[in-house]
Amino acid sequence: MNPNSLSDALTRHLTTIYQGVDGVDSDNHGQLGNKLIELMGLQQATTEPTRYVNHWDEKDCLVISYGDSVLQPEETPLQTLKRFLDRYVEDCISGVHILPFYPYTSDDGFSVLDYSSVNESLGDWSDIEAIAADYSLMSDLVINHCSARSPWFENFLNDREPGHNFFATASPDDDLSAVVRPRTNALLKEVETVRGSQFVWCTFSHDQVDLNFRNPEVLKQFVSIIRQYLDSGVRIFRLDAVAFLWKEPGTSCINLEQTHEVVRLLRTLIEHAQPDAIIVTETNIPNRENLAYFGNANEAHWVYNFSLPPLLVNSLITGDCNYLKQWMMSMPPARNGTAYFNFIASHDGIGLRPAEGLLKETEIDILVDTMQSFGGRISWRTGDQGQRKPYEINISLFDALQGTTEGPDQWGLQRFLCAHAIMFALEGVPGIYIHSLVGTHNDYQRVENAGHNRAINRHQWQYSELQARLANANSSEHQVFGGISELLKIRRQQSAFHPNATQFTLHLGSGLFGFWRQSIDRQQSIFCISNITSEVQMLNLSDINLIDNENWVDLISQLPCDGLMQSVAMEPYQTLWITNQVNG
């Protein structure tokens, strides 16, 4: 692609974004596009990106971690994190998502002070680059907001550059009644500036002030930031809270067309600069809205499968997979060049908005009550009618799966491994939170110290203690890590587990959740079946139509499943991966 055609593409994006925006002259869109090309270092001719190519396969799995989730004296946390990755998971994962590693003021990194620096308490850019040299590195682009104590905001208050017009403002008299909120605090915050009192927009907290993408200077800043991250080895960009990016009083201010067009523009720039780079949109919203960020294979390469955590946990605590099955049948296969990013635990919690319309309100209430009985906390949002509604459940996944709606039981470990066996087998790229990898419990002391519920699943391990527990065959950490790492090692050898391999839902009753995967070359089939109850369930092999002239084996137990067997007794929370072709 020559620079002129790239410039034309950017001009089309910019015209859609800035059409009708005061102060942005449509005659300057081409000039702005050329400036973006310069900031990305794309003045020379580049190769036209191929839209429908998968830059991932069955070997891909990411660990999600804070930069300081594992600590060791006399070493930067980022160095300790790499030490942990190299020793324990190098042979079963391909990449790592390091949660915001910048200087910040709140929200454990998501209230950024300076996008161009690494938090000194974590390390420096050389530590980031060392990790990026050995693993596919996902980094957060916290694009919707930054810290109210950032230099940009200080400049906003004092009418200086850069920052003069960098933040979204509104009047309390504007029609903001339809604005969708993930929080209960007031949307607008009054601040005193040298120009007088102004009301800045705060979608999340009053320490996180929303950026004003109506100002092209903000876009330029983020393109420069992206270039720096690419130069430091980042290959996967997580666009944090991007759904809220564009503000338009009188609308919901979520998922607006300008927001989608900004994602398209960033993709155009990123894939010309680095053809194998990946954009992931973090949109914790109802399922149909989330899927829209695939666009026409011209927006996100990956979208988070946000509905999976609440639906899967619901299935495992109720022993009924019907809601999970209905959702799965409704999910369109991701076309080549796009993929689902599957996860079942995160640094935040189990989001409930993605379950809206998929679980009945009574089911959500039962889920919330059960998680609270297991020590979980609830974060709230303000609903359309001003009512308080549960937004997410804050709990470690290991504690979330300690029992059922009947209470805790002896099947917690098996239930936890079952959840991951399901997730690892599903269409898409799996991401596993570091505290799920080792089965970390709720951290109540951290909640008390931090003063917010999300801290419950943000424990910090001393590396020596974690090593000791992983070495102790009787510890839950050893058993969890051993089970999960073994599943991952099996997974990465199976072509039918390619993120874009065919997937069909099986109908085996409410107690058995099953689906069929077939490799892209159609050589390998895997029937993935899990008992999601605390009772033995009988699987009739005739229900999954095993072809008689092929040898079938369960990849997990290595036991044969041949045509002479009429049924298999599945233990509570047991998973079978029955295949006709054993790889690895």
Using CA atoms, how far apart are residues 176 and 27, in angstroms rounded to an integer? 31
Q: Any alpha helices (H) in 255-304, and if so which ranges? A: 257-273, 287-291
Which candidate, 362, 359, 366, places its Cα nearest to that of 322? 359
Strands 278-282 and 512-518: unpaired
Strands 234-240 and 136-142: parallel
Phi, psi of 541 (to 5 degrees): -65, -20
Q: Residues comprising the binding site?
A: 107, 145, 238-240, 347-348, 454
User: What SS3 state is found at 578?
Assistant: strand
Token pair for residue 341? 């990013």
User: Out of 127, 140, 207, 240, which one is annotated catalytic?
Assistant: 240
Helix axes 463-471, 476-491, angle to 10 degrees: 80
Using CA atoms, how far apart are residues 89 and 486, in angstroms rounded to an integer? 11
Q: Residues comprising the binding site for substrate?
A: 107, 145, 238-240, 347-348, 454
Using CA atoms, how far apart are residues 19 and 33, in angstroms rounded to an integer? 14
User: CA-CA distances (angstroms) from residue 459 to 69, 257, 504?
Assistant: 7, 38, 37
User: How many CB atoms sit inside 10 A of residue 465's CB?
Assistant: 12
Using CA atoms, how far apart are residues 418 and 426, in angstroms rounded to an integer? 13
User: How many CB atoms sit inside 10 A of residue 456's CB?
Assistant: 24
User: CA-CA distances (angstroms) from residue 121 to 76, 83, 114, 124, 127?
Assistant: 7, 17, 14, 9, 12
For the question of residue 240 being annotated catalytic, the response is yes
Catalytic center residues = 240
